[in-house]
């Protein structure tokens, strides 16, 4: 058995090959609403082959680390954004593609104020709130036809716990670096 995959804090640079980290920038792009609201504009690349963007609410049960990941999935017809409503940190498992097979998995843990947008056709794990239930607004493709592929691992991925404490720490509400 190989060593467990160790999750690291989610950063925009490390996550860029898989999608977008959605979080406040150091300063808003512009002020709106009579100067009382900062707009951090166009933070994720939504991408759909057809259909339309839809907003759904997900209510996910609490999970824990360490864990075993038996399956990943991808959505070839559209991107998928996860925006936590409850503030619960969550595990983000992604993998590169090699001829239709997920390879080189990476694991991240979101910090306060972070959301993600998975680009179209990216292998990823299921929604995994850590330690408490999580509620999420999800923006993804609504349309006819299939948009889900699953891959079940012959040898499941073990995910450890090192690096998680730092990822789930309180950032005092200050915007992260992007």
pLDDT of 171 over the 60 cut: no
Q: Collapsing DSSP states into helix, strand and coil, what is residue 12?
A: helix
Beta bridge partners of 5: 159
Element (H, E) at 35: none
| Rounded Cα–Cα distance for residues 87 and 2 (Å) | 32
Instruction: Determine if the peptide bond prior to 128 is cis (ω within 30°).
Output: no
Average pLDDT over residues 106-114: 96
Whether the CB-CB separation of 166 and 9 falls below 8 Å is answered with: yes
**What pLDDT, in 10s, does the model give residues 61-81?**
999 999 999 999 999 999 999
Among 44-53, 91-100, 117-126, the range scoring the smallest mean pLDDT is: 44-53
As a residue count, the chain comes to: 178
Residue 3 has what pLDDT? 82
Average pLDDT over residues 37-51: 94
Residue 1 has what pLDDT? 61
Q: Which of these, 21, 4, 5, lies nearest to 13 by C-alpha position?
A: 21
Q: Which tops the pLDDT comparison, 20 or 164?
A: 20
Whether the CB-CB separation of 105 and 68 falls below 8 Å is answered with: no
Average pLDDT value over all residues in the chain:
90
Q: Model pTM?
A: 0.86
Residue 97 has what pLDDT? 98
Structural domains of the chain in order of their starting residue, each with its CATH number: 8-167 (2.60.120.480)
pLDDT of 109 over the 70 cut: yes
């Amino acid at each position: 058995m190989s060593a467990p995959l160790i999750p690291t804090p989610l950063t925009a640079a490390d996550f860029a090959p898989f999608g977008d980290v959605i979080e406040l920038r150091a300063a808003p792009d512009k002020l709106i609403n009579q100067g009382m609201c900062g707009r951090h504009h166009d933070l994720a690349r939504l991408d759909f082959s057809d259909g339309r963007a839809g907003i759904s609410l997900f209510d996910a049960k609490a999970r824990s680390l360490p864990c075993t990941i038996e399956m990943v999935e991808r959505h070839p017809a559209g991107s998928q954004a996860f925006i936590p409503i409850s503030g619960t940190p969550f595990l983000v498992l992604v993998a590169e593609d090699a001829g239709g097979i997920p390879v080189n998995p990476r694991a991240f843990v979101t910090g306060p104020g972070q959301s993600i947008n998975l680009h179209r056709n990216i292998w990823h794990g299921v929604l995994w709130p850590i330690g408490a239930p999580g509620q999420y607004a999800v923006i993804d493709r609504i349309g006819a036809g299939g948009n889900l592929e699953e891959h079940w691992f012959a040898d499941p991925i073990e995910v450890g716990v090192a690096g998680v404490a730092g990822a789930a720490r309180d950032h005092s509400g200050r915007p992260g670096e992007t």
